[in-house]
Chains A and B, each alone.
Chain A
Amino acid sequence: MFLKEYISDVYGAVKSMAIGMKRTLYYFTHHQEIITQQYPDNRDTLVLPERFRGEVVMAHDEKNEHRCTGCTACELACPNGTIKIITKFDISPEGKKKKAIDKFIYHLELCTMCNLCIEACPTNAIHMAQTFEHSVFDRAQLTKVLNKPGSKLQEGVE
Chain B
Amino acid sequence: MWNLSDIAKSVDEWLNSVMSPTWVLVVEMVVIGVLAIALFAVLGLVLVIMERKVAAYMQIRLGPNRVGPKGMLQSLADTVKLLVKEGLTPAGADKFLFNLAPFIAMITAMLLLAPLAFAKDFQIWDLNIGVLYITAVSSLSVIGILMAGWSSNNKYSLLGAMRSGAQIVSYELSAGLAIMTVVILTGSLQMSEIVKSQADGWWLFKGHIPAIISFVIFIIAVTAETNRAPFDLAEAESELTAGFHTEYSGMKFALFFLAEYINVFIVCAVGATLFLGGWMPFHIGNWEGFNHVMDYIPSSIWFFGKTFFLIFVIMWFRWTFPRLRIDQLLNLEWKYLLPISMLNILVVTLIAIKGWHF
User: Contact residues of A with B, CB < 8 Å?
Assistant: 9-10, 13, 17, 20-21, 23-25, 27-28, 31, 33-36, 38
Pair B321/A34 contact, Cβ less than 8 Å: no
- List B275-332 residues whose CB lies under 8 Å from chain A: 316-317, 319-321
A104 to B321, CA, bound (A): 53
- B59: Cβ under 8 A from any A Cβ: yes
Pair A35/B321 contact, Cβ less than 8 Å: no
- B60: Cβ under 8 A from any A Cβ: yes
User: Which residue of chain A has its CB nearest to the CB of B58?
Assistant: A24
Pair B62/A28 contact, Cβ less than 8 Å: no
Distance (whole angstroms) from the CB of B336 to the closest CB of chain A: 6
Pair B60/A10 contact, Cβ less than 8 Å: no
User: Contact residues of B with A, CB < 8 Å?
Assistant: 54, 57-62, 316-317, 319-321, 336, 340
A14 to B334, CA, bound (A): 17
Which of chain A's residues have a CB closer than 8 A to the CB of B60?
Answer: 27, 33-35
Which of chain A's residues have a CB closer than 8 A to the CB of B61?
Answer: 34-36
User: Which residue of chain B has its CB nearest to the CB of A16?
Assistant: B321
Known: A20-B321, A33-B60, A34-B62. A25 touches B336 (CB 8 A): no
A34 to B62, CA, bound (A): 7
User: Which residue of chain A has its CB nearest to the CB of B337?
Assistant: A10
A13 to B62, CA, bound (A): 31
Pair A27/B59 contact, Cβ less than 8 Å: yes
Pair A21/B316 contact, Cβ less than 8 Å: yes
Pair B320/A10 contact, Cβ less than 8 Å: no
Which of chain B's residues have a CB closer than 8 A to the CB of A27?
Answer: 57-60
Distance (whole angstroms) from the CB of A128 to the closest CB of chain B: 29
Residue of B54, B321, B340 touching A28 (CB-CB under 8 A): B54
Which of chain A's residues have a CB closer than 8 A to the CB of B54?
Answer: 28
Pair B62/A20 contact, Cβ less than 8 Å: no
A23 to B57, CA, bound (A): 12
Distance (whole angstroms) from the CB of B56 to the closest CB of chain A: 8
Which of chain B's residues have a CB closer than 8 A to the CB of A38?
Answer: 62
- Could you list some 12 contacts between A and B, CB below 8 A? A10-B340, A20-B320, A21-B316, A23-B320, A28-B57, A28-B58, A28-B316, A31-B57, A34-B60, A34-B61, A35-B61, A38-B62
User: Which residue of chain B has its CB nearest to the CB of A35?
Assistant: B60
Pair B321/A17 contact, Cβ less than 8 Å: yes
Most buried by A among B58, B59, B62: B58
